[in-house]
């Protein structure tokens, strides 16, 4: 969700809401199941939904499709549709999320930005975050979270990239599915957004994303597919932009055909706030719910009139309502009534347990990019450490822990943000080190501090926000539309270079929303990317710098050496010409662009260092038992260093030679995160299904297997590939790749799978390990995952439907 204007004064609105809360009188909860047979929790959700829709009047149906109150009017939430006690329908309470329970909510946890979560490459951790986010939302009286945001990062300058997960559709999809499972396990509907091809904030309300059919299916749809098939997402939010000249919220191709029919999405589609542009065209195209800053601008009474005039079929209205209530039944909204207001709004959900999740995500999402001479960790004691930079101190930390816009979590509503300076001072004191601080506003002071220190740690930041794009990839390119930006006191690139000249042991800690250029990278010994780390940022960064935590994160995005290396180089591609953005790079998004053109990035996709080392060996490929099954790529990972650590082993499937359909050179098709003690070895197995060796056949409008032998490449990043020994073909049989090393082993011969357009199964994210090698947090174990229907013991029992009515 967004909003045409930024938040205004949070405290003033909170005060008004507190006054309004005094007038809220709890009403009857719900009638017994005898009066509402669909209230029987033992009945299948589809049956319950059919019964309810059949019992609803046209007015009741129209009401549930339409925003009913102004933005933030109902206890500061983004959207509100009151329930109907007469038919046992609960309220729908919608709120922004991503970095925590947002909008005007108070006393909630500020978690790390989604890009930091994705950098963990750990779906289990992401599901844990989603679980805590859902728990907080439910206890704040919210049952629809407007998250996760899962668009593929096409344009590195996009002001909302910090809200998204990756430039790679597979990695984004696995994270989206995990977040969705976590949220919905707490009886809170997850909303996938911003559907689709929403790649920039510049002209976001009117720009047309002109993307070809194959690119749409191979790059931009897969994250949604994964979150729907593996996470069973209940809602999708369509975006502001147009797709091939048609607004995304009234585009029948992307909504009805691609999303609902092709991907099999059974939930409901809501508009972004004020993203609806018509009544009948939007409804007939597949928009099920209108959301906006003001109630019912195109739906509501206008939708009722359109149905009565025959412009929208009554069956279509029934379908809209069925989709909404089906998601409500499936996720448990009918069976788990929200806590009453105003108590929920005023309650404090920023618990120690939530803070621990925020800390774990921040630590596991911090990427060690460079560590020359093992300058990190800061071990030994007795050192003098110069900490330099505005963002290291209290004021700077509070300005840079979070991205801006609708997902922003205001710090006043939480306990104070931990700052790196204070956290480093605490650890240094225990180690016998001395910390001196210069905020960077005086270059002379920074030089003096660095010159007298054993190690200089420079903190630098940018600020990204919904509503505008970054002006560039330098540290001066912040985007400040819906957040109060703090101007950088000095040119941070120059400051880093100056400090590095004064102290050869210089480490740079970045808190940014995405990739930045590093003209000083060869002058410094260490680089750490902490993203927007949330309220526990100080403790997390200090833990990584001092080695209390061994970094294990990997880049979910490529860091370029130069702006001239970017995939979106021309004005026609970005920001667009005459309100048209041409996706002419096609499939070559992110690392695919760099690989296919032989461009060396500064730090490649999947890169991330550790304080230990890992070796790879024993690549083996096992054929699928049938053409519709999965082949298996197995290998060993060994901790060859001196301390316990976690490694993310990555599987890329390459294009065959020849490559007549022009697939990218290699694409991520699996990964697993494993924690190992020194000398310990884990045997990992990753599946490869038909989709991994398929392309979208535009002529047939279906997936088709590309013939030839597809190399299987395993390693620590997209450019650090340790094992290359054969591959898989269209029959999912191991095959030999010329000059690829030892041929892979195929255990069984299979009948040929014809190279005809055929519907392919989705990529299956699996990672298994031999029992002899205990694993911790294997990141891709979600095979056959079903939506969890837990009943958290922390919730009050209530025999009724609803605790309140406004």
Q: Is 272 a catalytic residue?
A: yes
- Token digits for 298? 């195109």
The pairing of strands 645-654 and 367-371 is: unpaired
- For tokens 């699928």, the residue is 624
CB 633 within 8 A of CB 619: yes
Residue 507, H or E segment: strand 506-511
CB 324 within 8 A of CB 103: no
CB 764 within 8 A of CB 170: no
- Token digits for 372? 């020359």
Out of 84, 91, 207, 272, which one is annotated catalytic?
A: 272
DSSP 783: T
- Rounded Cα distance between 460 and 454, Å, is 20
Q: What phi and psi, each to the nearest 5 degrees, are found at residue 93? A: -120, 110
CB 690 within 8 A of CB 764: no
Pinpoint the alpha helices (H) of 437-504.
443-451, 492-502
Q: Is 5 exposed, middle or buried (0-12, 13-18, 19+ CB in 10 A)?
A: exposed
∠ CA(160), CA(166), CA(168), 5° rounding?
135
Residue 384, H or E segment: strand 384-388
- Rounded Cα distance between 519 and 540, Å, is 26
- Rounded Cα distance between 524 and 602, Å, is 14
Residue burial 699-718, b: 16+ Cβ < 10 Å; e: rest: eeebbbbbbbbbbbbbbbbb
Other CB atoms within 10 Å distance of the CB of residue 261: 11
Residue 329, H or E segment: helix 314-331
- Active-site positions read 272
């Amino acid at each position: 969700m967004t909003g045409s204007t930024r938040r205004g004064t949070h405290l003033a609105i909170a005060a008004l809401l507190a006054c309004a809360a005094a007038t809220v009188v709890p009403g009857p909860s719900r009638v017994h199941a005898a009066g509402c047979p669909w209230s029987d929790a033992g009945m299948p959700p589809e049956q319950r939904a059919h019964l309810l829709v059949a019992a609803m009047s046209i007015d009741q149906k129209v009401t549930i499709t339409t925003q009913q109150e102004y933005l933030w009017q109902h206890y500061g939430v983004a959207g509100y549709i009151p329930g109907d006690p007469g038919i046992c329908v609960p309220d729908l309470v919608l709120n922004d999320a991503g970095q925590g329970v947002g909008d005007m909510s108070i006393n909630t946890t500020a978690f790390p930005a989604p890009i930091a979560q994705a950098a963990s490459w750990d779906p289990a951790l992401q599901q844990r975050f989603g679980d805590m986010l859902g728990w907080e939302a439910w206890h704040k009286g919210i049952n629809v979270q407007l998250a996760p945001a899962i668009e593929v990062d096409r344009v590195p300058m996009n002001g909302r990239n910090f809200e998204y997960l990756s430039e790679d559709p597979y990695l984004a999809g696995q994270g989206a599915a995990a977040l969705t499972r976590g949220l919905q396990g707490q009886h809170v509907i997850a909303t996938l957004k911003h559907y689709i091809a929403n790649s920039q904030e510049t002209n976001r309300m009117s720009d047309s994303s002109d993307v070809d059919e194959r690119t749409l299916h191979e790059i931009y749809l897969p994250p949604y597919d994964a979150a729907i098939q593996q996470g069973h997402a209940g809602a999708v939010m369509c975006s502001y932009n147009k797709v091939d000249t048609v607004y995304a919220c009234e585009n029948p191709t992307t909504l009805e055909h691609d999303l609902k029919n092709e991907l099999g999405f059974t939930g409901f589609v809501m508009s972004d706030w004020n993203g609806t542009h018509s009544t009948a065209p939007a409804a007939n195209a597949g928009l099920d719910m209108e959301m906006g800053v003001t109630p019912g601008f195109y739906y509501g009474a206008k939708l009722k009139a359109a149905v009565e005039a025959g412009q929208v079929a009554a069956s279509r209205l029934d379908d809209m309502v069925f989709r909404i209530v089906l998601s409500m039944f499936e996720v448990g909204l009918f069976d788990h009534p929200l806590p009453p207001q105003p108590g929920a709004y005023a309650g404090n959900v920023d618990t120690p347990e939530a803070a621990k999740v925020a800390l774990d995500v921040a630590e596991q999402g911090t990427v060690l990019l460079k560590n020359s001479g093992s300058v990190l960790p800061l071990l030994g004691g007795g050192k003098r450490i110069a900490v330099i930079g505005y963002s290291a101190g209290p004021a700077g930390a509070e300005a840079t822990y979070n991205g801006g816009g609708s997902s922003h979590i205001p710090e006043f509503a939480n306990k104070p943000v931990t700052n790196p300076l204070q956290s480093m001072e605490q650890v240094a004191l225990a180690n016998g080190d001395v910390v001196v601080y210069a905020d960077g506003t005086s270059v002379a002071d920074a030089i003096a501090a660095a010159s007298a220190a054993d190690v200089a740690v420079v903190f630098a930041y940018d600020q990204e926000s919904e509503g505008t794009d970054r002006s560039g990839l330098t540290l001066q390119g912040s985007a400040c539309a819906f957040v109060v930006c703090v101007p950088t006191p000095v040119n941070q690139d120059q400051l880093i270079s100056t400090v590095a000249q004064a102290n050869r042991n210089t480490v740079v800690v970045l808190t940014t929303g995405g990739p930045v250029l590093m003209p000083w990278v060869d002058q410094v010994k260490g680089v750490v990317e902490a993203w927007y780390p949330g309220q526990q940022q100080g403790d997390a960064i200090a833990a990584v710098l001092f080695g209390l935590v061994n970094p294990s994160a990997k880049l979910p995005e490529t860091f370029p050496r130069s702006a001239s290396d970017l995939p979106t180089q021309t004005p026609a591609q970005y920001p667009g010409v005459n309100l048209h953005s041409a996706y002419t790079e096609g499939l070559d998004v992110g690392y695919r662009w760099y690989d296919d053109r032989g461009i060396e990035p500064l730090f490649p996709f999947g890169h991330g260092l550790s304080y230990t080392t890992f070796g790879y060996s024993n690549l083996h490929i096992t054929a699928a038992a049938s053409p519709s099954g999965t082949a298996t790529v197995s290998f060993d990972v060994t901790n060859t260093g001196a301390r316990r650590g976690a490694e993310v082993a990555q599987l890329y499937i390459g294009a065959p030679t020849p490559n007549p359909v022009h697939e990218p050179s290699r694409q991520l098709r699996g990964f697993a995160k494993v924690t190992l003690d020194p000398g310990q070895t884990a045997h990992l197995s990753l599946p490869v299904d038909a989709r991994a060796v398929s392309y979208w056949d535009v002529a047939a409008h279906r997936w088709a297997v590309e013939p030839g032998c597809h190399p299987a490449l395993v390693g620590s990043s997209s450019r650090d590939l340790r094992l290359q020994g054969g591959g898989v073909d269209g029959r999912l049989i191991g095959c030999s790749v010329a000059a690829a090393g030892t041929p892979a082993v195929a255990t069984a011969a299979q009948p040929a799978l014809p190279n005809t357009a055929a519907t392919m199964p989705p990529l299956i994210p699996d990672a298994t390990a031999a029992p002899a090698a205990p694993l911790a947090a294997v990141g891709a174990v979600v095979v056959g995952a079903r939506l969890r229907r837990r009943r958290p013991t922390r919730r009050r029992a209530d025999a009724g439907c609803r605790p309140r009515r406004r």
